Amino acid sequence: MRELTGKVAVVTGGASGIGLAMARRFHAEGMRLVIADIEQPALTEAAEQLRSEGAEVLDVVTDVSQADQVEALAEDSVAHYGSVQVVCNNAGVGGGGPAWDISLGEWEWVLGVNLWGVIHGVRSFVPRLLKAGEGHIVNTASMAGLIGLYTSPHYAVSKFGVVALSESLYNQLQMAGAPVGVSVVCPAWVHTRINESDRNRPPAAGVPTATERDDQTRSAVEHVISSGMDPAEVADKVVAAVKSGQLYVLPHDDQFWLDLITKRTTGIIERRNPTPDPLPGSDAIRAAISQLA
- Other Cβ atoms within 10 Å of 3 Cβ, number: 10
Under 8 Å between Cβ of 163 and 147: no
- Does any domain span residue 46? yes
Domain annotation covers residue 114: yes
For residues 141 and 160, give the distance between their C-alpha atoms in angstroms, rounded to a whole number: 7
pTM: 0.91
Clarify whether 150 is annotated catalytic: no
For residue range 237-274, list pLDDT tens digits in order. Answer: 999 999 999 999 999 988 988 999 999 999 999 999 98
Tally the domains of the chain. Answer: 1
157, part of any domain: yes
Report the distance separating Cα 85 and Cα 98, nearest Å: 40
Instruction: Spell out the residues 6+ positions from residue 259 whose beta carbon is closer than 8 angstroms to its own.
Output: none
Q: Which residues lie across from 35 on neighbouring strands?
A: 11, 59
- Residue 247: give its domain's CATH number: 3.40.50.720
* Cβ atoms of 211 and 285 closer than 8 Å: yes
Inside any domain, residue 1: no
Q: Pick the residue with more confidence: 101 or 218?
A: 101
| 96 contacts 209 by C-beta, under 8 angstroms | yes
Tell how far CA 167 is from the center of its chain. 15
For residue 117, is it within any domain? yes
Contact partners, residue 293, CB within 8 Å, separation at least 6? 98
Full domain range(s) for residue 106: 8-292
- At residue 185, the pLDDT reads 98
Which of the following is catalytic: 81, 150, 155, 248? 155
Domain membership of residue 113 (yes or no) is yes
Residue 147 in domain: yes
Within a domain: 2: no
